[in-house]
Amino acid sequence: MSRYTELRSFVLIAEQGSFAAAALVEGVTPVIMGRRLTALEKRLGVQLVHRSTRGLVLTDLGERYLEHCQQLLHDFDAADASIMSRRRSLTGHLVVSAPASFGRLHVAPHALAFRERYPDLALSFNFTDSVVDLVREGYDMAIRIGEVTDPNYVA
């Protein structure tokens, strides 16, 4: 069993106040939550929770350990969130070339909505009917109408 699972289970048990309530949140049985707590206590070599028929009470060590575990779980969630937000967010500078009239009529009208959706992405357009060298002139993409004349381009 992973240490993360043990920590998360311990925190849920402590916060929910019972194996049954913690198990409901976790989507497992109370017996599994009890086994996770027992495994954690065995690994640490200390008792974290006093169990009785009336309920659960954290030991002094359990109280201190709970604070550390809550902070660790918060840090795990923050690390995941920071990476996931970067995945959803585009950054950098996108340089696009398109034929003049097509660009003005069909590309430019969507620029504002695109910028609102990706505010961290700088956007530059070059609407020209001249054929540009995409690689040499630093374009990320081009919209062209007609046959592909350069075999190195993907259409």
Predicted confidence (pLDDT) per residue in 83-94, tens digit:
887 666 678 899
- C-alpha–C-alpha distance, residues 110 and 102, integer Å: 12
Higher per-residue pLDDT: 70 or 145: 70
Which tokens go with 4?
């993360």
Cα–Cα distance measured from residue 110 to residue 115, given in angstroms and rounded to the nearest whole number: 9
Domains of the chain are: 3-87 (1.10.10.10), 92-142 (3.40.190.10)
Distance of alpha carbon 10 from alpha carbon 37, whole angstroms: 6
- pTM over 0.75? The answer is no
Q: What is the pLDDT of residues 92-141, one digit of tens each?
A: 899 999 999 999 999 999 999 988 888 888 999 999 988 888 888 999 98
77 or 153, which is more confident? 77
What is residue 87's predicted lDDT score, i.e. its pLDDT?
65
Cβ–Cβ < 8 Å for 65, 45: no
**Segment 19-48 mean pLDDT:** 95
pLDDT attached to residue 98: 93
What span, in angstroms and rounded, lies between the C-alpha atoms of 66 and 5?
14
Pairing of strands 55-58, 121-127: unpaired
User: What are the residues facing 113 on neighbouring strands?
Assistant: none
Q: pLDDT value at position 117?
A: 86
Averaged pLDDT of the chain: 90
Burial bucket for residue 98 (CB in 10 Å: 0-12, 13-18, 19+): buried
